[in-house]
Amino acid sequence: MKHIRSVLIFMLLFTVAAPLAIAAPQLTIGSADVKTGGTASLNLSFSGETKDYAGVNAKIILPKGITVKSISKGELLSANFITDFRSFSETANNGVNLIAYSGADTFTASSGILLTLTIEAAIDAPAGQHNVTFAATNVIPRVNSRYALASKDAASVALSPVNGNISISVSEDADNDGLPDSYEQQIIDADLNDSIRTVQDVKPADDFDGDGKTNLQEFQAGTFPARIKGDVNKDGSITRADAEEAFNLSLKTSWTSEELELADYNGDGSITPQDAVDIFSRASF
């Protein structure tokens, strides 16, 4: 019975809500300040009548250069709630789909935090104030992929969305060498056993990863100066896309030294489906 109720809630979260006569509860995106190359927290909050609610979903449009690394439950959601997120990239923007639901519990407080998103700003994210909004349109007609709220009896509840904002500022450059501290920190963290321990040790003219480009050239090109095992597509983070690429490489019989360096996760000299599984287990989204 609980399984059936969970399925109903999950389905109704993506059903267009019928308008109600009473004032609709609010789903609110908060605000955050983040530096390029750094992370910050962004809250998704609820306010409204003190009733029993069993789930929520939202599609949020993010500014250029901002990605969601992880999500965590706010004080409104108990351990029985299941949460998940999927990042997406479209022609005009990027964003994230969020969902939280439970077949065994509800949240009842009149206001509070539902989910906290850990966001990251790319090194080249544009500085300034940027809007964070709920999606304006549904991808599939008659399906509410923008935002939805489910009551404890699996009925869809109308709600009012409130957009938020993110302020992006440029990271500090303590040694004034043209490389932001956060960028230099990636090189410091890449090998904790080498002699590079401080931002002063990272030189713009050096080529840390030996790919023919200086650290400064890599920064200006928006690429990452340090190879990270598991980061097969070399975008600076380990994601499910890297696991997929590692699996594709496992279908080959020979590999370049760079492919082995990045995708041979267990270091046995070959790339196998097990390497893809190991990389997937490390994926941030």
* Tokens found for residue 281: 């287990």
List the chain domain ranges: 2-169, 181-282
278 to 123, 235, 247, 259: CA distances (angstroms) = 27, 18, 11, 16
**Please, what is the Cα angle at 107 between 52 and 62, to 5 degrees?**
115
CATH 3.40.50.1370 fits 2-169, yes or no: no
Residue 246, helix vs strand vs coil: helix
Tell me the C-alpha to C-alpha distance, in Å, between residue 108 and each of 47, 54, 75, 112.
Answer: 10, 9, 11, 10
Residue 140: per-residue pLDDT: 55
Q: Give the mean model confidence (pLDDT) for residues 114-120.
A: 94
Give the start-end residues of each E strand in 94-170.
94-101, 111-121, 128-134, 147-151, 156-157, 160-162, 164-169
Question: What confidence category does residue 137 fall into, taking pLDDT thresholds of 50, 70 and 90?
Answer: confident
Distance between CA atoms of residues 131 and 64, nearest Å: 10
| Confidence class for position 7, pLDDT limits 50, 70, 90 | very low
Contacts for 222-228: CB closer than 8 Å, 24+ residues apart: 222/122, 222/123, 222/124, 224/186, 225/183, 225/186, 225/187, 226/186, 226/187, 226/189, 226/190, 226/191, 227/190, 227/258, 227/261, 227/262, 228/190, 228/262
Taking alpha carbons only, the member of 9, 25, 13 closest to residue 104 is 9
DSSP reduced 3-state for 75 = coil
Q: How far apart are alpha carbons 185 and 164 in whole angstroms?
A: 30
pLDDT tens, position by position, 13-49: 544 444 434 467 899 999 999 988 788 999 999 998 8
Distance in angstroms (rounded) separating the CA atoms of residues 68 and 96: 7
The answer, yes or no, to whether residue 60 has pLDDT greater than 90, is yes
Q: How confident is the prediction for the chain on average, in pLDDT?
A: 84
Number of H helices, E strands in the chain: 6, 13
Determine the pLDDT at residue 98: 94
